[in-house]
Structure 1
Amino acid sequence: MPDLPRLPIPPLRETLNRYLARVEPLQEDRQNNKTRECVLSDDNLKMMQKLHEHLLEYDKQLAREKPQSSYIEDFWYDAYLMYEASVVLNVNPYFLLEDDRTIKNVMGCYGEYTCQVKRAAKLIFSILKFIKEIRHENLRPDVVRGKTPLSMDQYAKLFGCSRIPAGPGEKSCHLQVDPTSHHVMVTYKSQFYWFDVLDVNNIPIFSTPEPIEWNLYSIIMDSEQSEASRPPFGVFITENRRVWSNVRDYIFHDSDPTNWKNLKIIDSALFVICLDDASFTEDNELIKSMLCGTSQIRLGPNDLAKPLDAQHGTCLNRWYDKLQLIVTQNGKAGINFEHTAVDGHTVLRLAADIYTDSILGFARGVTKNVPDVFTETSESDSENVNLNLITIPRKLEWKVDPFILSSLHFAETRISDSVSQHEFAALDFTKYGSNHIKASFQCSPDALVQQVFQVAYYALYGKFETTYEPAMTKQFTNGRTEAIRSVTSESKKFVKSMFDRYAIDEHRIRFLRRACNKHSQIIKECSEGLGQDRHLYALYCIWNEYYKDTMPLPPIFSDKSWSIHNSTVISTSNCGNPCLKSFGFGPVTPNGFGIGYIIRDNSISLVVSSRHRQTNRFASLIEHSLLEIDHVFQRRSAADSEISAVTPSTRHGFGRLEQQRSDSLVHLLSGYNYFDVNVSG
């Protein structure tokens, strides 16, 4: 793997100018004037320059002492690890894999669990190959455009990794990575089981998926036959970090070490397999289960619940501090992951490789001429290599007392509240996809979809809000992401033209292409490490860590624009791959929307989340916005054809055909059709 360049620190004035350009479309002229005066004032420039010079020296020292690093790395980790709210719906995203059509949903040797057991075993078998590739340093390097290499450092933190809450005297959580981990955890009905899957040479123990199938089936059978109460210890992970830290500290100091040993087994596991005792046919319930789990409260005939028996949702069958493979009873499969150490691009590579390998496994049973995703798994050289390995599942037995039981109860009620406070909407738009956007609209598909989000939001609320999209910076050593801010002066002009009764389609198209070109330009800058968010955040962290007691807060950080800039109402992410059916995450602000989207050749899929902020209506408006933009181009094309069909002497008067009204706008504006909206920002 070639050495990658370090993440650049942009010149300070360039960062400040980009910041002003990003906040300008979100504020009134009067506030923009105040912001510009504040940011470019002598006091602000002097203080920011001092912080900038400190950051440059800090990066030089990092380059000497820790070459495989970036200036934002420690600050970025702190931003995640000092976050005290629950990771559920706030940190962890999910990927839902496409169905495996080689597995038929029929009764087999595992009865009603056949589909679930076979799907899970095939994916586990493929994941173990992926882990072997990482640990043997054989994983095929990531590249973009077929040639530009990307940083591979995140893969070392993908498995055997756990988010550990702060201990006494510690100011934040920390990541624990166990490179010697060889076992997996399996959860079913809130019960935990484990068994080894790799030998000491990091070679998968099982040469086929079948032994894994029997292990999973035996786990299900054991849990189904158990009559004992089922304390759902996994629900502790859904608590805020302070509460989970207190519970963990209590367990550590308990005279009985059983629970603490159990936690250490879970912490060090490669990953967690969550087998859900539920089937899902509706998209919204499936999305909810993959992202945060479902919450189902079953009360008795007299509305009296048995202890530990009120909650039956899949939210109890999780361990959100680690990478989780989730498989439903009807064979739906997805990945939920803790976001601190890895970004979506890294987990997407995992999802694509294991999905492809699991599907190809069926083809290999038919013919030998099937390409391999991974290198061939070697057999262990030594006869003693598998000694002391636990290949038969072992169950974790937990000890409970009044404190543990009450803590479990309150954790369960709080996650149930959180799940109930969020809603989700799935949209599968099949009218067109990236092929049509590039051929007919002559725009970047991602840039086009970002403009659509602005049209839909403006149609619903008549204003523009801070919008975020991540740009990958993995072409640099230890690169993570930079923030693309989608609202620009160009995008506002386009959006307003869509609702302007006097605008003509020719102008709308021109404004759209300018907005898309601007968005593509911002993506390019951010991908090259030349955005504004990470640089400014690092400068703020430098002030907070080194100058808080000796220097006033630089004016930029107390200006109203800084609060607006960092309150992301529309958080979006594009994560496309043929292996994915959907992708999503929770809103990042209480009044926000989270939008995970996949742009395919001939379709666009979205998952929209919010805290009951007209989620379905917003998703519907996104659909109608996509249709309306297509109508604009169709009308323009029809007008051109009609004009070209007449003689030059009679062509006069045809130039306004673009002004035809669209029925779709009636849907966008809830039946009100065109009207003038005077808004600020």
Structure 2
Amino acid sequence: MSLPKRIENEEKDTPLMPELPRLPIPPLRETLSRYLARVEPLLEDQQNRKMKEYVLSDNNLKLMHKLQQHLLEYDRRLAKEKPQSSYIEDFWYDAYLMYEASVVLNVNPCFLLEDDRTIKNVIGCYNKYTCQIKRAAKLIFSILKFIKEIRHGNLKRDVVHGETPLSMDQYSRLFGCSRIPPGPREKSCHLQVDPTSHHVIVTYESQFYWFDVLDVDNIPIFSTPEPIEWNLYSIIMDSKQSESTRPPFGVFTTEDRRIWSNVRDYIFHDSDSTNWKNLKIVDSALFVICLDDASFTEDSELIKSMLCGTSQIRLFPNGLAKPLDAQHGTCLNRWYDKLQLIVTKNGKAGINFEHTAVDGHTVLRLASDIYTDSILGFARGVTRNVPDVFTETSKSNFEKSNLNLITIPQKLEWKVDPFILSSLHFAETRVSDSISQHEFAVLNFTKYGSNHIKASFQCSPDALVQQAFQVAYYALYGKFEATYEPAMTKKFTNGRTEAIRSVTPESKDFVKSMFDRYAIDEHRIRFLKKACKKHSQIIRECSDGLGQDRHLYALYRIWNENYKDTMPFPPIFKDESWSIHNNIIISTSNCGNPCLKSFGFGPVTPNGFGIGYIVRENAISMVISSRHRQTHRFASLIERSLLEIDHVFQRRSAADSEVSTAIPSNRPGLGKLEQQRSNSLVHLLSGNNYFDVNVSG
């Protein structure tokens, strides 16, 4: 099987690659058994019987075995022809690059960095822009050091558990990378990676500027952040004084891929090559810096701006405005096909990234290193012997070898005509609609965090939080839905992720016990620990490459690309369980680090929730998104669920320390019933006591 190349202009050899084992292809029978175990808790008895008949039928096993043999042969050939690869890699790129809807809220996640207290409320030579400019310049300066480490092969290897090395291949596609829409007669997008890129793009009020930041040896041109500050200030001042038209070309990157492809094709064939040259400059840039002319005080609005931009429509009752003049949100000041550093007017900073080539762990390393380095930069100005995040930065010999570099910001002047203007207008209205259709709730739970969970609950913090999600959803809807959490598989060559499925028979037992009037706290705790233990076991299996989702997806793709016209569709893929399994209602991701204030992403299905969470030592932070599906109510129930789990342990501890009289029960062996309730969930259950929720489903 031969798959098309999805990455252009990428360097073939990189010193960042440790010698790692290949991602294993699990035995088919084991994968099918895991699939049955993961889907079973989501189905009714009759559906389960039908599913098992389909999956374990001789016909299905025969067809799947043939696909398995094809996959094994493909991986053997791949190991010889492309040693730095994995069997899922090209399939996974296809999953992203063949996606035709907008990447906004559907693909790109965002990280919100913690505040930099060293520049908070600073008033200086840049007047009201001082805080924004200094924060942006410090982060840019640190990012350039990070890029130098990558390109010089000095970036310290990622490890887990202090010793297990992780794949570093994604770092070569973090900068100078762009998602390019399909060309004429092409079936999918592709990634363009420019390993020689040396410039950045800065956007302010929808206007684009660029300047060089690295020399020909990939050494940062600027030895301090101050020259970057002056460049950013000059960009803001030029934009404020500009009277030219401000076509928001970045809004094209919010479009459906086919529409964006048609626009690019129109630009390519235009007799005036100005816009096409501008696109090439943006595509090849290291990354994009978005300076927003907006300040945010509410967490939900701030995370919305980082994730999808805001939409602020100003209407003109006394006269008709130009179509694009009505939109004043930050959604126009973006370029979603690339890595973006976003800095608000009041110095809030975040990262929005195109997800095809890189996973959260890779961008989290970037966020952690640049945040730490930017903070340590202040300490270096106060005292000596401050540790460095990066190796010592060599000074650029600018006069000797960089005469062709441009360090003064250059503005990109876009040419517009009726087609471009109308296309911009419709792109803006569509992204504005999408933003209006989503809402975000930010939950900062400060009652406890990982320290308390490990000491008092004796559970995995991540597993415990996943159980709270299930309790909250069951309290709201009285059922269980497909829940997804990614597990990193980067300890294998070019590893990406595997799907952790959070709903298990053990988690269902625990959730139902929380609403069962006949359950006692001792039983709830026992169920909780079993559920958390099971969740941790699934995480280990997935991290070892022994999940079911990626393997089955690869087999499905092999059928679709090689046997669609010659082999019957395997029954496993026709059964209703396959659709239920892949309809992710609760999509979650745990991405914790002290540098992050929060992070978020959109729901992966129209009727789903997206939950990005950080489990800190003494707190838990979450960003919850949905298409107006009672998002804030769900967030409140998650908070109440976390409190109620703690109350269960508190009551058990109190019962252990004093003699209590059990209330008689008509069920043998159960006592202490009525006192084991609290108000944590009651007020959100339509006035009913939470023990009155039906637990038979």
For this structure pair, what is the TM-score category when the shorter chain's length is used for normalisation? over 0.9
Alignment map for 1:234-245 (pairs within 5 Å): 234-245=250-261
Kept in 1, the 8 Å contact 2:441–2:632? The answer is yes
Indicate the SS of the match to 2:325: coil
Query: Does residue 1:452 correspond to 2:468, yes or no?
Result: yes
**Shift in CA distance, 658/449, structure 1 to aligned 2, threshold 3 Å:** farther
CA distance in 2, matches of 1:59, 1:437: 42
Give, in whole Å, the separation in 2 of the partners of 1:303 and 1:355.
47
SS in 2 for 1:309: helix
1:478 corresponds to: 494
Alignment counterpart, residue 219 of structure 2, candidates 184, 198, 203: 203
Q: CA deviation at 1:658?
A: 8.4
The amino acid of 1:321's aligned partner reads: D
SS at match of 2:200: strand
Distance in 2, matches of 1:381 and 1:291, equals 39
Distance 2:200 2:95 in 1: 29
Give the counterpart of 2:543 among 527, 530, 534. Answer: 527
Task: Tell me which amino acid in the other structure corresponds to 1:617.
Answer: R
1:315 matched to 2:331: yes
Counterpart-to-counterpart distance in 1, 2:585 and 2:670: 42
- Corresponding residue for residue 54 of structure 2: 38
**1:47 to 2:63 alignment:** yes
Q: What aligned pairs does 1:97-496 form with structure 2 within 5 A after superposition?
A: 97-302=113-318, 304-380=320-396, 383-496=399-512
The residue matched to 2:350 in structure 1 has which SS? strand
The answer as to whether partners of 2:121 and 2:131 remain within 8 angstroms in 1 is yes
d(CA) in 2 for partners of 1:466 and 1:655?
A: 34
Specify the alignment match of 1:649 in structure 2: none
- Residue-by-residue CA offset, 1:507-548 (whole Å, 9 max, x unaligned): 000000000000000000000000000000000000011100
| Structure 1 residues not aligned, in runs of 5+ | 647-652
Q: Identify the residue that residue 583 of structure 1 maps to in structure 2.
A: 599
Deviation at 1:671, TM superposition (A): 2.4
Is the Cα–Cα contact under 8 Å of residues 251 and 424 in structure 2 kept in the other structure? yes
Contact 2:438 2:628 in 1 (8 A): yes
Partners of 2:225 and 2:27 in 1: CA distance: 54
C-alpha deviation, 1:228, in angstroms: 2.0
Separation in structure 1 between the aligned mates of residue 549 and residue 658 of structure 2, nearest angstrom: 48
Q: What residue in structure 2 maps to residue 563 of structure 1?
A: 579
- Residue 382 of structure 1, CA deviation: 7.4
Report SS of the residue matched to 1:308: helix
SS at match of 1:194: strand
Find the residue that maps to 1:607 and give its secondary structure.
strand
The CA deviation at 1:567 is: 0.5
Quick check: 2:440–2:626 contact (8 Å CA) kept in 1?
yes
Cα displacement string for residues 380-429 of structure 1 (whole angstroms, at most 9, x for unaligned residues): 35742121100000000011011000000100100000000000000000
- Partner residue in 2 for 1:512: 528
In the superposition, the TM-score normalised over structure 2's length comes to 0.95
Give every structure 1 segment of 4 or more consecutive aligned residues whose post-TM-superposition deviation is greater than 6 Å.
none
Q: Within the alignment, does 1:551 sit opposite 2:551 as a pair?
A: no
CA contact (8 A) 2:519 2:673 kept: no
Contact 2:176 2:284 in 1 (8 A): yes
* Native 8 Å contact 1:89 1:585 kept in 2: yes
CA positional deviation for 1:105: 1.3
Partner of 1:650: none
1:20 aligns to what?
A: 36
Q: Is the 2:681–2:690 contact (alpha carbons within 8 Å) kept by the matching residues of 1?
A: yes
CA contact (8 A) 1:184 1:194 kept: yes
Amino acid at match of 1:5: P
TM-score (norm 1): 0.98
Deviation of 1:675 after TM superposition, in Å, equals 4.5
User: How far, CA to CA, are the matches of 1:592 and 1:119 in structure 2?
Assistant: 35
- Which amino acid in the other structure matches residue 596 of structure 2? L
- 1:604 maps to 2:629: no
Aligned to 2:105: 89
Output the CA distance in 1 between the equivalents of 2:530 and 2:691: 24
SS at match of 1:266: helix
CA pair 238-382 structure 1, distance change in 2 beyond 3 A: closer
> Within 1, Cα distance between the matches of 2:137 and 2:592?
25
Q: Which whole-Å deviations, capped at 9, do the CAs of 1:138-161 have from their partners, x for residues lacking one?
A: 000000010000000000000000
Q: Which amino acid aligns with 2:426?
A: F
Residue 122 of structure 1 aligns with an amino acid whose one-letter code is K
CA separation in 2, counterparts of 1:549 and 1:306? Answer: 52
Give the whole-Å Cα distance in 2 for the aligned partners of 1:611 and 1:595.
13
* Structure 1 residue 667: Cα displacement: 2.9
| Distance in structure 2 (CA, Å) of the matches to 1:241 and 1:344 | 23
The count of aligned residue pairs is: 676
Distance 2:656 2:44 in 1: 38
The share of aligned pairs that are identical, in percent, is 87
Structure 2 counterpart of 1:153, one-letter code: D
For 1:559, the aligned partner's letter is: D
Q: Deviations over 1:558-615 (max 9, x none)?
A: 1000000000000000000000000000000000000000000000000000000000
Deviations 1:256-295 (A, max 9, x none): 0000000000000000000000000001110110000000
Q: Deviations over 1:8-58 (max 9, x none)?
A: 000000000000000000000000000000000000000000000000000
Q: Which moved more, 1:275-284 or 1:669-678?
A: 669-678
Alignment check: 8 A CA contact 1:463 1:680 kept: no
Counterpart-to-counterpart distance in 1, 2:674 and 2:364:
42
